[in-house]
Amino acid sequence: MTLNLIDTDISIVGAGFAGCIIAHKLASMNISCTLIDRKDPFPDIFRAEKVEPEQARLLKSLGVFDYLSPSPTPVGTIKLFKKGITSDFDASKQYGFRYSDTVNNLRSLLPVKAKLIVDKIDDIRTSTCTQEIKLSSGKLIKSKLIILASGGNGSLLKSFGLRRRYQASLHSLSFGFDIEKTDGTNFDINGFNYYNESDGVDYLTAFNIGNNTMRVNVFTQWQKDNPSVSAFRENSMQTIEKYFPKLSDHIGEYKIISKVQVFPTSFYRLKNIYQAGMIVVGDELQSVSPATGTGLSKIVTEADRLTEHYIPKWLANECVTSYDVWKYYHDKEKSTMERHSKNAWHYYRNMLNPKYKSFKYKIIDRLNNYYFKL
């Protein structure tokens, strides 16, 4: 088969949130990049649905904030319900959004310097100076650097000689669904957070997404085989009432109008990452507990640090060495954000399970952090 050669500065494997925002920023700096994804469009799967103020600030500085879909509208003042007390919270710098619509928007609005190829990867070869990706269609992509942004899918780790290190005590399970008022009118609140903080359940957050609809996320520290998971799927309204009593007193009588999506996560971080010519970003590098709301913070920090402080220097040199890559992974802002994301996961786990507050687990957590080099 004759190979169709594509020469590009950077190859990005995975055109999800991380891959797309990095491609947008690089292309705006006149750096050519080729995104490769095995699926188009990006499917309707359960991921981040709210942008926090600091995430919004960095999305603006990366020039992609306006690509959020639906177009960014502040959540406004929301109600909090914690330990029997209701209070107001200013969420005017938070934005609700649809993840898959946003990724598809980012894909369709890529600048000319960035190209998306939808194909299957057959082979990957990395070296200090030239990286090669061979696609099923016969195309061969050559670049100076490969960015692996495949979102925790894990299917390409072997090709790069990468492996995951798991921390068994950190896991979480989240639910997401849409609700509407039973009388069809609009909700008279912008959003509502209901803290349970017992029985392994962190909190419920509901926020307006337009069309008289609210999106609801419920965050727990349950394992997949917890019997409450199937109860939630099969009898959602009763299970919500069990863990969030009298929710309708706060938001009005409601009904669930979508499928209940369920997403389990466990903590992992990749090892063997100091390789010349390639770096890993987003959920593929380190998983995140959805309850912490730090997944996008990690991604926007990576995109900002990489594009502003590392890639332009690397491209000015002949090659991207393993020492260059090592320095990037030790970037202070990036590592602080990754540590913060993991510590926030510890916080939720410890809050819901007193056993983890003991001296023994403090030592185990310290050793784990040392082991994970975070």
SS3 of 276, please? coil
Query: Residue 258 has what DSSP assignment?
Result: S
Phi, psi of 249 (to 5 degrees): -65, -30
The residues, any chain, with a CB within 8 Å of residue 366's CB and separated by 6 or more, are none
Q: Which range of residues in 41-49, 72-80, 84-92, 237-245 is near ligand FAD by CB under 6 A?
A: 41-49
Q: Residue 367 CB, nearest distance to ligand FAD (Å)?
A: 26
Q: What is the dihedral of CA 55, 17, 13, 39, to 10 degrees?
A: 170
Residue nearest to ligand FAD (CB): 16
In whole angstroms, the minimum distance from the beta carbon of 85 to ligand FAD comes to: 24
If one asks whether residue 340 binds ligand FAD (CB under 6 A), the answer comes out as no
Q: Which of residues 166-185 bind ligand FAD (CB under 6 A)?
A: 174, 176
Q: Please report how close the Cβ of residue 200 comes to ligand FAD at its closest, in angstroms.
A: 16
Point out which span in 78-86, 143-151, 326-334, 352-360 binds ligand FAD (CB under 6 A).
143-151
Candidates 32-40, 130-138, 226-234, 270-278; binding stretch for ligand FAD (CB under 6 A): 32-40
Smallest CA-to-CA distance from 144 within 24, 62, 31, 36 is with 31
Binding mask 285-324 for ligand FAD (x = CB under 6 A): ---x-x--xxxxx-x-------------------------
The Cα 147–Cα 351 span in angstroms is 36
| Binding flag, residue 156, ligand FAD (CB under 6 A) | yes
Question: What is the C-alpha to C-alpha distance for residues 202 and 121, in angstroms, rounded to an integer?
Answer: 39
- Least separation in angstroms between residue 280's CB and ligand FAD is 10
Q: Is residue 248 close enough to count as binding ligand FAD by CB under 6 A? A: no
First to last CA, the chain: 45
One-letter-per-residue 3-state SS of 185-246: CCCCCCEEEEEEEECCEEEEEEEECCCCEEEEEEEECCCCCCHHHHHHHHCHHHHHHHHCCC
Chain residues binding ligand FAD by CB under 6 A are 13-19, 36-39, 42, 46-50, 103, 121, 149-151, 153, 155-156, 174, 176, 263, 282-283, 288, 290, 293-297, 299
